[in-house]
Each structure stands twice: as structure tokens, then as C-alpha cells.
Amino acid sequence: MHGNKSSLRLEGIFHRSRLALEECRDRPIVIGMKKWIFLLFVGLTSYGFYKILIHPMKLYVATGNPHKITEFKRLMALHGVDFPVLFGGDYGGMPEVDENGDSYEANAQLKVEGLEAKIGEGRWIVAEDSGLEVSALSGDPGIYSARFGGKIPQTERNQLLLSRLSNSSDRSARFICCYCLKSPDGKLYFFRGVCEGTILAAPQGGQGFGYDPVFQPNGEQRSFAVMSDEQKDRISHRAMAFNALLRFLKKP
């Protein structure tokens, strides 16, 4: 992680250990089985201690949304994320945030700041905001996707969307996802992912969540709600934004 002092200190320790190992490489070392087991135990314990307590990177994800947590965890596993990541339940719940920003970026930032007010400054915090933009509806529901049609079940929301498009030949739409990342030194970074597609004539499939049954990504013959998790993770707006976020976090 960029400019992190504890990371530099650890690099120093690893470097000195490497030198010490190289020095004794040519000397014969004969030790018994018990000592090997002891050394293995010490090694594994230190690694666990390093990862949990003094790892330079610990990421707080500002969400309590189970769908988003599931997708985030899947993407982490897919990319082999090796630093600790904490979600809503791990820090006593995501506080209520009034998402009154005028963009995905602004709403994601509000979520980051909402969590920061709870857990304190000087941490890596990330939040996400996403939505569906339909061309024939001038980009609606967009940042209001979760509230489109008011407090109604998602199946009704999807039907409402389809009825608004019943006379429209332009079915093009896109899912947008934006991550806002705040670094311990207070800097903000934004990462966007877009998935272009079309709105189907009728809902299709029972997987996923939200508008998945009515959205067919370009190049596919089925809705997001028919695809497996792995298939969605290859092309989704969230996957694209996540890739950009991860590239940034892993940058030396």
C-alpha cells in the first residue's frame, strides 16, 4: 500500500531475514522433527498475527446490504484479496445514511463519511453506489434505482419499469457502479464500472437481485438473473469498478 510506514518497516524486517537466511544457506542444518513442527507452528502463528493485527492494510466496507456483501466477497475470492476486509456486521452495523447526493460518486462518498463518523478517521474505507440508467427514460431511475416507485417489492418495481417502456423501441440501458475509497490520510478516490445492455420485454430468471431479471447485458442472450454468479462477476458493473479499485490498492 502506498507510502505506508508500517509496510516499509515490515519490508525492512523481511529484507534482513532474507539476508540472514542467505548467510546460513551453505551451512548444514540438522534438526529433529519436533523442532520442525515447532518452527512451523511459530511461522503460522506469526503469519496469522501479521495478517490480523499489524497488516498494513485493513479495509472497511461501508455497507450492510447482504447482496452487495455477497458480491464483494465473491469478487475478493476471485481476485485473491489477501488483506482483512470488514463489513457492516464486523463493526456493529452500517449507520443509517441519507443518500441525498446528486451522483453515484456523491452518494458513495456520503456512505464513506457516514461510516467514518462512526469508526473514526485514519482508516481505509470504501463504499459503493449503483443504479440502472434507461435511455428511453432519460437515465432514470439512475441514482434513485433503489427507491423507484416508492416502497414496493422489487418484482413490482421491475413491472413498473417495463410498463414505462411499453411504447418504447429503444430498450438500451446500463448498470453503473461507483466505489468511493478514502485513505487514512483523508484522500478520496473514485472508481466507476459500467455494464451496457437492454431491458427485456418480460422478467427472466430467478437469480441475483434488483433489476437482474429485466436486464440483459450486451453480447448475452439471457438476463443477469439467469446467469451464474461467476458469469455475472466477469462482466458486471460492480466487477469492473471492483477491478479498478483493486488495481489501485495493489499498486506498489
Active site residues: 129
| Those residues with Cβ within 8 angstroms of residue 209's Cβ, 6 or more apart along the chain or in another chain | 67, 154
As measured in angstroms, the least distance from the Cβ of 221 to ligand IMP is 18
As measured in angstroms, the least distance from the Cβ of 68 to ligand IMP is 7
**CB under 6 A: which stretch of 10-18, 26-34, 38-46, 203-211 binds ligand IMP?**
203-211
Q: Is 133 in the site for ligand IMP (CB under 6 A)?
A: no
In the region spanning residues 162 to 181, those forming contacts with ligand IMP, defined by CB under 6 A, are: 175
Q: Is 210 in the site for ligand IMP (CB under 6 A)?
A: yes
Beta-bridged to residue 176, according to DSSP, are: 131, 194
| Those residues with Cβ within 8 angstroms of residue 57's Cβ, 6 or more apart along the chain or in another chain | 1, 4, 7, 83, 84, 124, 249
| Those residues with Cβ within 8 angstroms of residue 176's Cβ, 6 or more apart along the chain or in another chain | 104, 130, 131, 132, 133, 142, 192, 193, 194, 237
In the region spanning residues 113 to 132, those forming contacts with ligand IMP, defined by CB under 6 A, are: 129-132
Name the residue nearer to ligand IMP (CB basis): 214 or 249: 214
In the region spanning residues 75 to 94, those forming contacts with ligand IMP, defined by CB under 6 A, are: none
Cell of 67: 447482496
Q: Is 137 in the site for ligand IMP (CB under 6 A)?
A: no
Site residues for ligand IMP per CB under 6 A: 65, 99, 129-132, 145-146, 175, 208-212, 224, 236, 238
